[in-house]
Amino acid sequence: MAQPTLLEKALFKVKENGFKYTKKREALLNFLIKKNRYTAAREIYEHLNGLFPGLSYDTVYRNLREFVEIGIVEDTDYQGEMKFRFSCSEDFGHHHHFICTVCGKTKEIHMCPMDFFKEQLDDCEIEGHRFELYGRCSDCKKFV
């Protein structure tokens, strides 16, 4: 039996979390999978509106937020704008990123620094965190 594709895994997770399957949701996820980098909501909206004329920006943004909540899409505030990408973790698990400031490519970081901070904040309740590194990827640093 063939392994499910990333899109199939994501659509299963959508359904598992009580959301209905729609062609629009499939197209949104497929677009993010193909982009494979953080992308502005406006760019996602423009692509989807080309496929589904009349689709509202609010609908696209709401779906992005819902997908972030269930872990299949990741978001970041990059250069003052929220950007979104399909989760680069095959199991949609917790991880962090290096983000290229030139081309936007990301690399998954396979460790979380929170254990270090938990030891220093043992009397506090941590409710969330972000950890991202920025710089030039190996391709872009050649053109400095």
100 is in an annotated binding site: yes
Looking at the structure, do residues 15 and 82 belong to the same domain, yes or no? yes
47 is in an annotated binding site: no
C-alpha 82/C-alpha 73 separation (Å) is 12
Beta strands per DSSP E along the chain: 39-40, 73-78, 81-86, 96-100, 106-109, 132-135
Looking at the structure, do residues 49 and 15 belong to the same domain, yes or no? yes
103 is in an annotated binding site: yes
Looking at the structure, do residues 24 and 73 belong to the same domain, yes or no? yes
- 91 within a domain of the structure (yes/no): no
Per-residue pLDDT of the chain (144 residues; tens, 9 = 90+): 777 788 898 999 999 999 999 999 999 999 999 998 889 999 999 999 999 999 999 999 999 999 999 989 988 887 788 889 888 656 556 667 788 888 878 787 777 777 777 777 778 887 776 777 888 988 888 876
Domain that holds residue 81: 6-86
88 is in an annotated binding site: no
Q: Are 137 and 108 in contact (CB under 8 A)?
A: no
Q: What is the pTM of this model?
A: 0.73
